Chain A
Amino acid sequence: MSHLLQSTFIPTTPTTLRRCSVFPTTHLRKTHVVESKIREIFMPALSSTMTEGKIVSWVKSEGDKLAKGESVVVVESDKADMDVESFYDGYLANIIVPEGSSASVGSTIALLAESEDEISLAKSKTLTTVSSSSQETPPATVTEEVSPVVSPVAAAVSLSSDAVKIASAIHPASEGGKRVVASPYAKKLAKELGLDLRGVVGSGPNGRIVAKDVEAAAAAASDGAAPIGVAAAALKPSGSAPAAPVVDLGTTVPFTTMQNAVSRNMVESLAVPTFRVGYTITTNALDSLYKKIKSKGVTMTALLAKATALALAKHPVVNSSCRGGKSFTYNSSINIAVAVAIDGGLITPVLQDADKVDLYSLSRKWKELVDKARAKQLQPHEYTTGTFTLSNLGMFGVDRFDAILPPGTGAIMAVGASLPTLVGSKDGRIGVKNQMQVNVTADHRVIYGADLASFLQTLAQIIEDPKDLTL
């Protein structure tokens, strides 16, 4: 590589700057580093003006042996792509900044372990550093003790035998799930998205995992899952309460990709000024309608979505969304997103044009979406295009709750269970009626109290006299 550096490849750069070896300098607290023999590889400064570098590619992969002077990584500067070489022998333990990402000059882009045994130590060290995102790196010895717990790599491996069976058992050549069969692009995408292919169900020829499966799985794990309130939401399609999950008590578990996305969206939602308006709706008429048409495959979810969509059609402002904070958009279609709990999270399949599509088609569509969601095969347009969200916890007996507004939409409605309630009527009589409470959370920048109130009034009218729903 030395010839490259001495060449006239960048005629305008002074020779001194062209000499670009990484300086995997020892860590600040030298004593620990010497003990653990883990060095950090920093983003080099390839020119005097460079503040940030983009990793074009990692020449070496994690676990590869490195000799002093060997190129490790290709960094893009303003003039050309430069190969960057290692100053030390060792093993590339952990790549912190992946290909295609940028890092500022001097920041750690990878860790170098002196021996193979220390690779896992280095990995766990990164995790600790990253998850606590503090300057305090625990002493190496301590890290080593806790590493089996904090290392998701180890955990994933031990779980793999179970996961694999579900994943690729359909593939004839997967030998009972011992192998993952994925197309080149699917593999590439999974690597970019940090997705474990063993958990992905393939829809390609012979059950092979193709790019869209990876995209669907990744989306299911992030965006689509994120919008709904943490405590709220979730319609368990099966309707049964989940079995108590088996967890190791007292452990700290790093966020999965999906949990990270949820976390990010929840924090983002705090930037939106929201308020809530509740309403109690009598559902006797709706319940009897449901009983009549249930045999035709109509579901309660479809009924509720249809009713909501019809109400929204009369109150376009509730179906609007405000993104920049300076203007808002009256959405052209009414797409009702409905939260569904799936293994390890939740997703919001979207019933598009719910005001226009007839109830029976809507019910069929819903069934299809739920099946796809369970198979993690929803396409992005099937879970990201919602303009209004429904979240129903009624099947758990919840009578009322509060949902967090998904960023990018105007309102979300939390639906409780419909319960027989003792009701006094205007003429002084007392009776039992089925009533459910709904609670709408909305973005007050665009939707005001009166808007929600009149929307809910319309909705109540539709539900209490549901003949329009079947039109």
Chain B
Amino acid sequence: MVQPDLQTVRLSNGKEITVHTQLFINNEFVPGHGPLIETINPATEEVICSVHSADKQDVDAAVNAAATCFKDTWRKVAPAEKARLIHKLADLMERDRDELATLDALDNGKAFTVARDVDITDSIACYRYFAGWADKIHGKTIDTTFDKLCYTRHEALGVVGAVIPWNYPTMMAAWKFAPALAAGNCIVMKTSEITPLPAYKFAALVKEAGFPAGVVNIITGYGHTTGSFLGSHPLVSKMAFTGSTATGRKIMESSSSSNLKKLQLELGGKSAQIVCADADLDKAAEWSCGGIFNNHGQSCNAGSRILVHESVHDQFLELFIKHTKAMIKIGDPFDEDTFQGPQISKGQFEKILNYIEIGKKEGAIVSYGGKRWGNKGYYIEPTVFTNCHNQMRVMREEIFGPVVVIAKFKTIEEAIDIANDSDYGLAGGVYTTDLDTAITVTNEVKTGTMWVNCFDVFDQSTPFGGYKQSGFGKELGKYALQEYTQVKVVKILRSSKI
């Protein structure tokens, strides 16, 4: 018997909600031919429900739906109409904000208030931002020789494949959907099999908003099966991926052996926050605390290394721990006071605890936290390691949990060298009141984003993406549009030229 699409699930406060569990292809919820996958509530360690997953024939069906829709329908829709549809989608997300936030909190474990006020709010803003670009995708006319009319068109790619992670389910989907749609593409998105529920609710809104069938297709499944089928599909013109560096490599290899599809990778990080002697220490402590502990440390751009000038180290540490205690209330995601919920899964939970052990063995000192919180759910205390140096594994490897490593530096040049001593290059920050220091450090640190006197502050309009092995390509901002278009130059010769 095929599991019906709609399932009823129970929340920890006793409320019940209905969720979609089938694949969303061509504006319909259809059963998948892959295995049913259980999705777990990380706050309770219990199964929420099972969802359908996509096998090769389902991926094929989704890609073909997108390809047909692009060819017959979507590419002929006027840009202003595309914008109107995206705005309508944003309106519906506003209407159903609480339900979307509930699903993010239930499936991912993040606090409901954070899901509502950050994830869903920013996702809606992202759709509205890119809706505004839909009718402003400009080519150029280029003066070459007097007898030619030469111009470029920035055309949609066609079918875009997207693979998104579990750390910001609705928002990671928005960062891919919004520019892809604004640039005129059709999409097949594979959500993480760990957090499949939010996107299926979103899918229902896509249909309600009036998008033609096949513009947006949402499936879920394992990376090594469903993701792999999508990444190697000959009709997919581009893969946009956010996730681990290891999987990013696989996607690039897959492109090289299939159809050389264009790629965009947003991968891991080990971003350094540099606290200078002249920083406002209390503000630096507050911002840097959020910089690592936001989203339970499960951010690619987490400021997971803090480098503090030796003259202010002890003072800073005291303030940092003070802010950690005040800010980080751990608890049930649906509790209004909760700041930090559980880590996403048993696997991640064990991985983080293992890194804490590694840190201790390497000689780092646990100045705060360092263990599990409670005895049900994948909760870990916010953890502070001090006495660290940059050769330690806990200073080099991405932990992806609420664990920060703090090291000292003597000179600003040393801090810059330590910050750059990493294969990653996603983000970084500096806390200082000196203009020269701010400009020097932001120039010299090799990352795609540098924050000054703040951290983890995002806007829809500024580009985000890594240097080095943190990936390539930009999300957000006008820069994202070029990831979703291809350039054609047309050269018309006016007169006889033999």
Chains A and B belong together in one complex: no
| B residues lining the A interface (CB < 8 Å) | none
